[in-house]
Amino acid sequence: MESLEWYGYIVWLPLVFWVGLFFWFWRYSGTLYLKKMIKKGKKWAVIPEAFSKNPSSFTRLRLKNFLLSLLVSALSALSVAWCLSAFAGIDSALVLLAVVPFLLVAVFLYKVAMAKVSTTYQAAYFLEYCRARYESDKKGALRNEADIHNRAIWSFAKKLKNAEAHKRLWKYVNAMANTKKIPPDVMAETMYG
């Protein structure tokens, strides 16, 4: 009976692996999503230099994603199989088919993590865009939207490259995305203020 209590604790271990898988997707697999967004023409997406210099790293990252998803799904299915065979008397071989729904959960987690990556990078880019617009308005030089947009893209890429050189890319992007110091809109203040 003691072994059942011990296994009862191990059954919950795959939940920790799901949390780890989500953070793996969010932190490391975001590069795959950013590459996809660049192909779609999104200007806020910037691929880290380490990946752009080594194209085979994308293939390795996809393989790691699949293997980690499969491992966590298999561990979860084994956990469910053990619970059902120990407490309900159901044959565990049939329950191992639960790997497929767990793989669908992994795909869902990947989508959620990529949405978080997208939101983070877009918020960081928006801050840089507001800064570029503020600098343009502050100088009194009325520039068209394309010039401000190009300046923001250049500045954003330069700052991210500098942050990556100092090995603090994610910290910098998250800080930019979460900042509350958004420059004011000078034109709105003069027209409506």
Q: Give the whole-angstrom CA distance, residue 180 versus residue 161.
A: 23
pLDDT of 4 higher than 60: no
Q: What are the structural domain ranges in the chain?
A: 2-192
Q: How confident is the model at residue 52 (pLDDT cuts 50, 70, 90)?
A: confident
Phi, psi values for residue 19, rounded to 5°: -65, -45
Contact by Cβ (8 Å): 104, 59 = no
Q: Residues with Cβ < 8 Å from 158, sequence gap 6 or more?
A: none
**Tens-place pLDDT, residues 104-160:** 999 999 999 999 999 999 999 988 888 888 888 777 776 788 888 888 889 998 998
**Tens-place pLDDT, residues 60-90:** 999 999 999 999 988 888 887 777 777 777 7
Residue 63's pLDDT is: 93
Query: 3-state SS string over the chain?
Result: CHHHHHHHHHCCHHHHHHHHHHHHHHHCCHHHHHHHHHHCCCCCCCCCHHHHHCCHHHHHHHHHHHHHHHHHHHHHHHHHHHHHHHHHCCCHHHHHHHHHHHHHHHHHHHHHHHHHHHHHHHHHHHHHHHHHHHHHHHHCCCCCHHHHHHHHHHHHHHHHHHHHHCCCHHHHHHHHHHCCCCCCCHHHHHHHC
Higher-confidence residue: 19 or 10?
A: 19
**How many CB atoms sit inside 10 A of residue 73's CB?**
23
Query: Between the CA of residue 110 and those of 27, 41, 59, 129, what are the distances in Å?
Result: 11, 21, 16, 28
Higher-confidence residue: 91 or 26?
A: 26
**pTM, full prediction:** 0.79
Contact by Cβ (8 Å): 109, 135 = no
Q: Give the whole-angstrom CA distance, residue 132 versus residue 153.
A: 9
How much is the average pLDDT of 156-174?
89
Segment of 8-17, 44-53, 153-162, 180-189 carrying the highest mean pLDDT: 153-162
Residue 94's pLDDT is: 65
Residue 108's pLDDT is: 94
Start-to-end CA distance of the chain, whole Å, equals 74
* Average of per-residue pLDDT values in the chain: 82
